[in-house]
């Protein structure tokens, strides 16, 4: 099994799903899990316990759509129950969920990110709706993107692109808000707005999220040496 990272998706074996569904769940949760099992839908890697590298089980989650109460189901599954690991849909699939000016704006953002050699994936409600076809998106849902970046310079470029996108959309009648993270090669991640504020000096520290927890950094040495993550 390859190394895990935040926002990663995993698909379970048939035996793995059988064990999950057989757990102690209420009727609503069991119905949702049975649907996921029947349709071979993925689960998402969530925060792992500190020192859990090499553990026999991994923590995963399932944010249920509206038809199952939008519940967030937390599970632990054996590593040997993981059939495959993959990523959320790329940003190129996102414009199809919109019409008119928002669609054009998202296509332009996709082009700009590609020009900057940055790889973006859609997670959150839009990502899950792309994956499942179910009712995850609600009125006012943010568009969540995680973008793989090589270093601080590329993170600056991506944050600037997001900032320009939001500025251009500020007067639009249709609300479209970008949220999400800049993810470095070692899996360290910073919300793009926090990164922009930190680099501009309007914030004294950056909140850095990793697979096993969260830390606060005032210096940039952590992102200067980040390496090893594959987008």
Query: Does 137 reside within a domain?
Result: yes
- The verdict on 105 and 176 lying in the same domain is yes
Query: Does 80 reside within a domain?
Result: yes
Burial zone of 119 (CB within 10 Å; 0-12 exposed, 13-18 middle, 19+ buried): middle
- The verdict on 101 and 189 lying in the same domain is yes
Q: Which residue numbers are catalytic?
A: 142, 144
Greater confidence (152 vs 231) lies with 152
DSSP-derived pairing of the beta strands 143-148 and 178-183: parallel
Min mean pLDDT across 4-8, 146-150, 155-159, 175-179 is at: 175-179
Please tell me the distance from the alpha carbon of residue 42 to that of residue 142, in angstroms, as a whole number: 21
Asked if the model's pLDDT at residue 227 lies above 50, the reply is: no
Strand order in the sheet with 189-191: 119-123, 143-148, 178-183, 189-191, 206-210, 213-217
Query: Does 161 reside within a domain?
Result: yes
Q: What is the mean pLDDT of residues 23-30?
A: 96
- The verdict on 187 and 216 lying in the same domain is yes
Final residue of a domain: which of 67, 86, 105?
A: 86
Neighbours of 116 (CB within 10 A): 14
Query: According to the model, what pLDDT value does residue 155 have?
Result: 95
Nearest residue to 121 via CA among 103, 144, 98:
144
Q: How confident is the model at residue 53 (pLDDT cuts 50, 70, 90)?
A: low
Strand partners, 206: 217
- The verdict on 31 and 138 lying in the same domain is no
CA 22 to chain centre: 28
Instruction: Residue 196: give the domain boundaries.
Output: 91-224
CA 123 to chain centre: 4
Domains of the chain: total: 2
Greater confidence (190 vs 51) lies with 190
Asked if the model's pLDDT at residue 226 lies above 60, the reply is: no
Mean pLDDT estimate for the chain: 90
- The verdict on 98 and 169 lying in the same domain is yes
pLDDT in tens, 161-220: 999 999 887 766 567 889 999 999 888 999 999 999 999 989 888 899 999 889 888 876
């Amino acid at each position: 099994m390859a190394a895990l990272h935040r926002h990663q998706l995993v698909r379970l074996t048939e035996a793995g799903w059988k064990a999950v569904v057989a757990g102690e769940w209420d009727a609503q949760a069991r119905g949702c899990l049975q649907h996921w099992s029947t349709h071979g839908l993925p689960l998402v890697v969530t925060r792992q316990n500190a020192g859990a590298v090499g553990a026999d089980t991994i923590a995963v989650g399932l944010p249920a759509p509206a038809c199952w109460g939008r519940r967030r189901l937390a599970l632990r599954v054996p590593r040997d129950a993981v059939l495959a690991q993959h990523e959320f849909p790329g940003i190129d699939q996102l414009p199809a969920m919109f019409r008119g000016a928002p669609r054009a704006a998202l296509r332009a953002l996709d082009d700009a990110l590609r020009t900057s050699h940055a790889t973006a994936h859609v997670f959150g409600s839009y990502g899950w709706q792309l994956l499942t076809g179910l009712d995850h998106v609600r009125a006012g849902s943010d568009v969540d993107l995680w973008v793989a970046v090589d270093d601080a310079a590329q993170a600056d470029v991506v944050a600037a692109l997001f900032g320009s996108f939001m500025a251009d959309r500020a007067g639009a009648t249709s609300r479209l808000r970008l949220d999400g993270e800049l993810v470095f090669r070692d899996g360290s991640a910073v919300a793009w707005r926090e990164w922009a504020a930190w680099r501009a000096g309007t914030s004294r520290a950056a909140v850095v999220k990793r697979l096993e927890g969260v830390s606060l950094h005032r210096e940039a040495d952590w992102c200067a040496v980040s390496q090893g993550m594959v987008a």
